[in-house]
Chain A
Amino acid sequence: NAGVMQNPRHLVRRRGQEARLRCSPMKGHSHVYWYRQLPEEGLKFMVYLQKENIIDESGMPKERFSAEFPKEGPSILRIQQVVRGDSAAYFCASSLRLEAFFGQGTRLTVV
């Protein structure tokens, strides 16, 4: 049973471009959580999704950020018009009910 898969592992974008981060949960897991980790800080919750539903997006910035978890395929975190301050590690976690398992993360660098 493969773990939580995130890709790409590293992503470089110029200011103003779009970033798409993908997360494939563990097999059978229907809950996906996205977290952001700024350098030298802890992880901050962004959004919680189930298939085709956003359950809690209280940690998402109001603009430029969106997330989806379609019926088929991975969960996507999309950042439009990236700025330098978006540079961070983005982690996805999945769970069936309790206990979340984390992916390796995507390290986004905005230049």
Chain B
Amino acid sequence: ELKVEQNPLFLSMQEGKNYTIYCNYSTTSDRLYWYRQDPGKSLESLFVLLSNGAVKQEGRLMASLDTKARLSTLHITAAVHDLSATYFCALANFGNEKLTFGTGTRLTIIP
């Protein structure tokens, strides 16, 4: 059974600082996603990572994937208040989009 763990669960950061969210998973998968969720809202897709060594960047967020270590990271650079949200990683089954989600990381950016 695929298990996905994220850490930390809660993260308070000051504006302008850098930090990293970690996503570990237990078995192989061919796609890893990062999502953002604002309170009371749906999920916004941020990144999809397909292969070992994949790195994607959008603005202040950068995601990477190490399939050998079964680890993905979401790095936040020079955080701003607008990035406050809950971030989830999720892994897909081979051949379909049944997703197993991590526990989520609630990120709060403090001015």
Contacts and interface: CB of A to CB of B under 8 A. Distances in A.
Interface of A: 31, 33, 35, 41-45, 48, 55-56, 91, 93, 95, 98-105, 107
B34 interface: no
Interface residues of B, number: 19
Interface of B: 31, 40-43, 45, 48, 88, 90, 92, 96-104
A42 B88 contact: yes
Contacts of A102: 42-43
Contacts, number: 49
Contact of B103 (A42, A91, A93): A42
Contact of A98 (B31, B41, B102, B104): B31
17 contacts: A33-B97, A41-B104, A42-B88, A42-B103, A42-B104, A43-B88, A43-B90, A43-B101, A45-B99, A45-B100, A55-B96, A91-B43, A93-B99, A95-B97, A100-B97, A101-B45, A104-B41
Contact of B99 (A33, A104, A105): A33
A42 B48 contact: no
B100 A99 contact: no
Given A41-B103, A48-B98, 11 more contacts: A42-B102, A43-B88, A43-B99, A56-B98, A95-B96, A98-B31, A99-B45, A99-B48, A100-B99, A102-B42, A105-B42
A56 B93 CA distance: 12
